[in-house]
Structure 1
Amino acid sequence: MRTEIQNVADVIIEQLRLWGVKRIYGVIGDAIFGFMEGLSRHNDLEWIGVKHESVAAMMASAEAKLTGRIAVCAAQMGPGLTNLMTGLGDAYLDGVPVLAISGQAPTRKIGTAYKQYINQQELVQAITGFSRIVIHPDAVVDTLAQAMFKAVHQATPVHLSIPSDLWSLPCGTKPREPIQIAKPMAGRSQIQQAANMMLTAKRPVILAGNRARLASDAIKKLADRWGCGIVMSYGAKGIIADSHPYLAGGLGEGGNPYASDLCKQSDVVLAIGTSWWPEHHVPGHAQVIHIEERISVIGKVIPSQFGIVGNIAETVGALTACIADYRPDRNWLQVVNHCKQAWNDQNDSERAITSSPLHPAAIVSVIELTTDNDAIIALDEGDVTLWFLRSFKGTAHQLVLSERWRTMGFGLPAAMAAKCSYPNRQVVCVTGDGGLGMVQADLITAARYGLPISVIVFNNGTLQMEQDKMMMKHRRPFETDISNPKFVQIAEASGWAAKRAETNDELRIALDEAKSASKPYLIDVPTAKITHPDFQIQHEGSMNP
C-alpha cells in the first residue's frame, strides 16, 4: 500500500482492489474524469467501456450473481445515473452486491440549477439499500467502506455520488480492508426441530433455488435419504442434474406442468436458498421449512413455519444425519417417478417437433447438444426464457438471468460479464429478437474486448410473450409485431462472426463453429410463432397419479 498522500480517486481505486473488485463497467462523463484519470494510473482494475449505461449496470449485476463478489459500475451524473437504474433494479430485486459510482456537480454548485444536477440520493432510494453523497475528501473511506460492507453483507446494490471537484483532492485517510465475518451456524436445537418436522412427512418435497448452488451434493444426499421429490425455482437449472431420479423439474413458469400437482400434494416442503413461491403452484396446507444464509430472506415471500439461518450445505448435511432412521414412502416415490416420466415423455415430443421456422423447443434441444456441461448460459427475458427453462435438460450448467426484475435486454450484458469473469468457460447467450434489439449497440463491446461468446437469437418478429398474454386475457393483440434489422449483417459490422440457421443441421453446425471461434459469434434463428403452453387459455390435462 502506498504511504504518500493519495487523492480521492486513488484511495477509492485502492479500496476497490482490496475488496476483490477486478473491473468496472461504465460510460465516461465529465463528472468522473478524475476517476478515469486515476484508473489510467492503475493496472489492477480493468475498465470495460460500454455503449449504454444500462448495459454497464446489468453487467455488474450479472457478475455479482455469478461470482458472489461485489461488482462495480460507474457513470456520469444525471442521465448517466438514470441509465444505470435498470441494472440496479435487477440487482436490488435479486439481492446481489453492486456498487454504483456516479459523478455529481462540483461542491459549490450542489443545490443550484447546474447542468444535469438532481438529488441523486432521492432518485435511487427505491432500488438501493444505501446511497450517499461524499462532500469532503476525508469522508471518502468511511462512506465507501460503509457502502461496500452493506452491499456485501446485506446483498443489495449501493450508490455513491462523488462531486466532480473531489476526485483530485488529497485524502487524509487510508483505504480500509473488508471485515471478515463468519457465516452463522444453525444451532443443534434448531436442526433437531426441523428434522422432527421432516420425520413426520409422508409426501416430502424439496424446493431448491439459485442460492443453493454450492449445496448441490448435500441436497442430493438428503433427497436420497428423505425419499422426496425435488422441484427447482425459477431459473435454477443445473444445480441438480435433470437425470436425477427425484428431480421433477422447474416449478411454475417455464417448468414442468405436472410439478404443480406434485408440489400441492406434499405435506412438508423444505425450501432451500430460494424466494420462489409461485401462486397457484404451491401447497396450501403443507409445513414449510426455509433454509437461508441471510435472515432477511426468511418469511419475506415463502410462508414458512420454521426458518433456519446458516451455511446451506452444512445445514442440509446436518438435517440428513438427523433423519437417518426415516423410511421413505414407496407410494410417494411412485408419484414422484410418474410426474418425472410423464413430463419427460411430453417434453421429448415437443423437442422432436420438426417445422420451418424451427419450433422453440427444438432449438433448445440443439443448444443442449452442443453446450459444455459446465457452460454459463445467459438468458434474456421474454418468451425465449420460458421455452429454454421448459425444454433444457441441465447437468452442471450455471444460468444467469433477471429472475425478479425481468428486464428485457439482460442476456447480452450478462454473457459479456460472464466471459469477463470466467474466460475459460463456454458462455452462451439465449435471447429473443426483442431483447437483443434493446442492447444491440453493445455487440461492439464484446468485439472490442475480445469476448468470444455465442449468442443465439430466437427471431420471430414478435413480442411473443406480450401477444400470448393479451390473447390469454381475451384482448386483441396490438402492436406486438416488431421490425428487426438483419442481425447477421449487424453482427458482422460490429466485429462478430455470424450465420443464419434455418434448420436443425444448420444450427448444429453454427453452434459447433461458435464454440471454437476466437471472437464472438451470433446465430440468427428464424423461429416459429408458437404460443407458450403457460399462456394457453385452456391448459391440457394435469397429472392424476
Structure 2
Amino acid sequence: MNKNVAEVILDQLSLLGVKRIYGVTGDTIIGLLDAMAKQDKIEFIAVKHESVAAFMASAEAKLTGRLAVCTSTMGPGAANLLNGLGDAYSDKAPVLALTGQAEQKEMGTDFQQYVDQQELFKPFAAYSANLNSENAIVDLLQKAAEISLQQRTVTHISVPKNLFEKETTAKARQLPKVLEGTGTFELNDLEEVAGVMKQARQPMILAGAGARGAAGDIAELATTWGAGILLSLGGKGIFEDATPHLIQGIGEGGNPHAPNVFKDADVVLIAGATWWPEGYVPEDATIIHIDLHLEHAKKRVAADYGIKGKTEQVIPLLLESMKGKQKNEEWLNRIDAVKEKWAYQNEQEGQIQGSPVHPSRIARGLENTVADDAIIALDTGDVTVWMNRNFRQTNQKVLFSGYWRSMGFGLPAAIAAKLEQPEKQVVAVVGDGGIEMTLADLLTATRYGLDITVVIFNNGALQMESDKIQAAGNEELGTQLTNPNFVQVAEACGWKGFRVETDGNLEEILSKALQTKGPVLVDVWTEQAFFPETE
C-alpha cells in the first residue's frame, strides 16, 4: 500500500541517518507530527522556541557532520527558525529545515500567516523549494540532502498542510553513491607553493578545526619549516600545549602577544581554517590556503595560493618538501619568547582571587574540573573571549557560533550534544545575557532527562557591549541586566542549582555539579571585568 507524504518523509530521512527532528508543534505540520507519533525511527524533540530548534540542528550537524533537521509551522514559526539557520549557514553545517505551509488553495493569497517562504529563506538556505506534488517529495528531499551534505550548507523544503496526509507513489531511496576523486596530490603538484615556502624567513601556520586529522604532521612541519603555530577558536585543543612554537590563539581572546610576531610574517599557511582575524594579521605576507571546500573558504580569506584538498593529504607532502630547509633561529626565538610570556601570564590570570569571581578564574576552574573529553557548548558574548583567552583546552570538543555569533547558542547546543552523545559529559558555558534568551528551554532538558551542566558567568551585564561603549567614550544604555535568581529558576524547572560567590570554593562546587545526575545549573557571581584587549 502507498504511504502518505509525511510517512515517506520520515522513511527518507531515516535512510539519510537522521535520528531526531527538533521543532515546535504547529498547525500546518500536524500531519508530519501524526506520522512521527506512529513510528520509532526518528524522535521528535519538542522545544520552546523555533530558533532553539534550529540552533539544536546546527549544533548536531557541527558535532556529527551528518544531516540534521528542524521543523516549524508556517509564518511566525518559519521566521523564528532563521536565527539558528543563520548560524548553520555561516558555519557550514548541513541542516535541512522542513516547514509547513498554507494549503495549496490558499498559497499566494492574503491567508493568515502566509508568506512566500522561498523568499524568506533565501539569505539562509542554498536551496529552498515548495512541494507542489505529493509524488515529488523524495526527489526534493534527495536534492536538498545532497546539497546540504556536499556543500555543508542549509536547505529548506516547505510542504503545504494538505499534502502531508496525501498518499504518494514515491518511495524512499538511498542517496546515489558519488564516486569522487581522492584529491591525491603528488610532490610536483605543489612545487610552486613549496618554492614560496622555502623562501620564507618568517613563516606562520594558522590552524583551525579542519586541521585535526593532520595535527601531528602540522606540528612536525612547524619544526621543519621554522614556523610558529596559531589557532582559530575551532582549532583549540588540537595540539598539546607543549607543541614547539605553538603560541595558541589569535584574535580577540587569543594570545595578546601573538600579533607582535604574526604581523611580521612573510608567508602564512592556513590549514583547516576559514577565518582571517582582521586587525591581527600581516599586511604583506603571501597567503597559502588549504581547504577541501575552497570555493567557500576563499570568500573569507584573500589567499595568494589555494590548495583544494584535505589537510591530512596535503601537509605530509609540504613537510617532505621542507626537509633540509635552513630555519631562521632569530624568528623562532621571537616565537618561543611570545609562547613563554603568554604561558606565564595565562597561568597568573587563572589564579586571580576575589569575590565576585574574575572571569579568568572561572575559565581556570572549568579547566581544572571538566572531563578531558567533555563537550563544551560555548555561548556568544564576553564569556566567549574569556574562555578563548584563559581556558587551556585539551581534548574537549567545543561547539560555538562562529561567524553568526549569536547569543543564545549555548543551552540549545548542549541539549543537542547530550541527545547525540549521551555518554559524554556536556557543559554549557554561558553569559547571563545569553542564557536569558533561552531560559524556557531549561524545561526541554528536564523533559528529556538530560544530564547536562550549565555554568553561568553572572555579572549582571551585557559586558562585551559595555566594554565597547566605555572604550568608545559613549554613554551606556541597556547594558545592565535585570537578572532573576538563576538557582531558583533552575529549581522551578526541575534542575539542581548551585551558586558560587567566591573563587575559594569554585572547583569544589563545579566538581559537585559535574558529578550530580540530571540537569544542573551553576550560577557564578562574576566580576564586571573590562576585557583587556577591547578597543
TM-score (norm 2): 0.97
Counterpart in 1 of 2:241?
Answer: 242
Counterpart in 2 of 1:132?
Answer: 129
Which one of 14, 31, 43 corresponds to residue 34 of structure 1?
31
Contact 1:184–1:311 (Cα < 8 Å) also in 2: no
Q: Equivalents in 2 of 1:430, 1:178: separation in Å?
A: 38
Counterpart in 1 of 2:421?
Answer: 422
Opposite residue 154 of structure 1, the aligned amino acid is Q
Question: Which digits, 9 at most, give the CA deviation of each residue in 1:510-529, with x for residues without a partner?
Answer: 22122222201100000001
Determine whether 1:102 maps to 2:99.
Answer: yes
Contact 1:374–1:397 (Cα < 8 Å) also in 2: yes
Contact 1:239–1:397 (Cα < 8 Å) also in 2: no
Determine whether 1:185 maps to 2:183.
Answer: yes
SS of the residue corresponding to residue 467 of structure 1 reads helix
Q: Equivalents in 2 of 1:402, 1:287: separation in Å?
A: 29
How many residue pairs are counted as aligned between the two chains? 533
Which one of 76, 80, 84 corresponds to residue 81 of structure 2?
84
Tell me by how many angstroms 1:128 deviates: 1.0
Question: Which digits, 9 at most, give the CA deviation of each residue in 1:445-489, with x for residues without a partner?
Answer: 111112111111000111111111111112111221110110001
Contact 1:241–1:394 (Cα < 8 Å) also in 2: no
- Map residues 75-474 of structure 1 onto 2, 5 A cutoff: 75-181=72-178, 182=180, 184-188=182-186, 189-474=188-473
Contact 1:75–1:101 (Cα < 8 Å) also in 2: yes
**Unmatched 5+ residue regions in structure 2?**
none
Provide the identity percentage.
45
Contact 2:276–2:300 (Cα < 8 Å) also in 1: yes
Residue range with higher mean Cα deviation, 84-93 or 36-45 = 36-45
SS of the residue corresponding to residue 534 of structure 1 reads coil
SS of the residue corresponding to residue 524 of structure 1 reads strand
Opposite residue 83 of structure 1, the aligned amino acid is N
Determine whether 1:71 maps to 2:68.
Answer: yes
Q: Equivalents in 2 of 1:115, 1:444: separation in Å?
A: 30
Contact 1:184–1:309 (Cα < 8 Å) also in 2: no
Q: Equivalents in 1 of 2:297, 2:410: separation in Å?
A: 29
Counterpart in 2 of 1:540?
Answer: none
Tell me by how many angstroms 1:175 deviates: 1.4
Q: Equivalents in 2 of 1:135, 1:214: separation in Å?
A: 43
Contact 2:378–2:410 (Cα < 8 Å) also in 1: yes
Tell me by how many angstroms 1:159 deviates: 0.7
Contact 2:89–2:154 (Cα < 8 Å) also in 1: yes
Q: Equivalents in 2 of 1:308, 1:282: separation in Å?
A: 20
Counterpart in 2 of 1:543?
Answer: none
Q: Equivalents in 2 of 1:298, 1:157: separation in Å?
A: 16
SS of the residue corresponding to residue 381 of structure 1 reads coil
**Unmatched 5+ residue regions in structure 1?**
538-545
Contact 1:98–1:158 (Cα < 8 Å) also in 2: yes
Q: Equivalents in 1 of 2:66, 2:483: separation in Å?
A: 37
Opposite residue 243 of structure 2, the aligned amino acid is H
Contact 1:501–1:525 (Cα < 8 Å) also in 2: yes
Question: Which digits, 9 at most, give the CA deviation of each residue in 1:161-218, with x for residues without a partner?
Answer: 0011111111212213123333641532433332222222221111011222333233
1:46–1:465 CA distance, 2 compared to 1 (3 A): same
Contact 2:446–2:519 (Cα < 8 Å) also in 1: yes
Tell me by how many angstroms 1:414 deviates: 0.8
Tell me by how many angstroms 1:279 deviates: 1.7
Residue range with higher mean Cα deviation, 306-315 or 79-88 = 306-315
Contact 1:298–1:307 (Cα < 8 Å) also in 2: no
Tell me by how many angstroms 1:6 deviates: 1.7
Q: Equivalents in 1 of 2:174, 2:211: separation in Å?
A: 28
Q: Equivalents in 1 of 2:233, 2:392: separation in Å?
A: 14
SS of the residue corresponding to residue 339 of structure 2 reads helix
Determine whether 1:480 maps to 2:476.
Answer: no
Contact 1:514–1:520 (Cα < 8 Å) also in 2: no
Q: Equivalents in 2 of 1:533, 1:186: separation in Å?
A: 45
SS of the residue corresponding to residue 91 of structure 1 reads helix
Residue range with higher mean Cα deviation, 246-255 or 359-368 = 246-255
Opposite residue 471 of structure 1, the aligned amino acid is Q
Tell me by how many angstroms 1:243 deviates: 3.1
Contact 1:384–1:432 (Cα < 8 Å) also in 2: yes
Q: Equivalents in 2 of 1:184, 1:79: separation in Å?
A: 44
1:430–1:183 CA distance, 2 compared to 1 (3 A): farther
1:318–1:180 CA distance, 2 compared to 1 (3 A): farther
Counterpart in 2 of 1:62?
Answer: 59
Opposite residue 242 of structure 2, the aligned amino acid is S
Opposite residue 520 of structure 1, the aligned amino acid is P
Tell me by how many angstroms 1:362 deviates: 0.5
Tell me by how many angstroms 1:153 deviates: 0.6
User: Over aligned residue pairs, what C-alpha RMSD do you find?
Assistant: 1.4
Q: Equivalents in 2 of 1:161, 1:94: separation in Å?
A: 23
Q: Equivalents in 1 of 2:221, 2:5: separation in Å?
A: 51
1:163–1:402 CA distance, 2 compared to 1 (3 A): same
Determine whether 1:12 maps to 2:9.
Answer: yes
- Map residues 40-55 of structure 1 onto 2, 5 A cutoff: 40-55=37-52
SS of the residue corresponding to residue 165 of structure 1 reads helix
SS of the residue corresponding to residue 123 of structure 2 reads helix
Q: Equivalents in 2 of 1:226, 1:397: separation in Å?
A: 29
Q: Equivalents in 2 of 1:342, 1:486: separation in Å?
A: 40
Question: Which digits, 9 at most, give the CA deviation of each residue in 1:234-281, with x for residues without a partner?
Answer: 343212233323211111111011111221111111101112112221
Tell me by how many angstroms 1:353 deviates: 1.2
Q: Equivalents in 1 of 2:242, 2:502: separation in Å?
A: 28
Tell me by how many angstroms 1:388 deviates: 0.6
Tell me by how many angstroms 1:410 deviates: 0.5
SS of the residue corresponding to residue 126 of structure 1 reads coil
Contact 2:262–2:280 (Cα < 8 Å) also in 1: yes
Counterpart in 2 of 1:497?
Answer: 496
Q: Equivalents in 1 of 2:144, 2:529: separation in Å?
A: 46
Tell me by how many angstroms 1:224 deviates: 2.9
Counterpart in 1 of 2:505?
Answer: 506
Counterpart in 2 of 1:542?
Answer: none
Contact 1:263–1:283 (Cα < 8 Å) also in 2: yes
TM-score (norm 1): 0.95
Tell me by how many angstroms 1:295 deviates: 2.7
SS of the residue corresponding to residue 114 of structure 1 reads coil
Tell me by how many angstroms 1:42 deviates: 1.9
Q: Equivalents in 2 of 1:262, 1:68: separation in Å?
A: 35
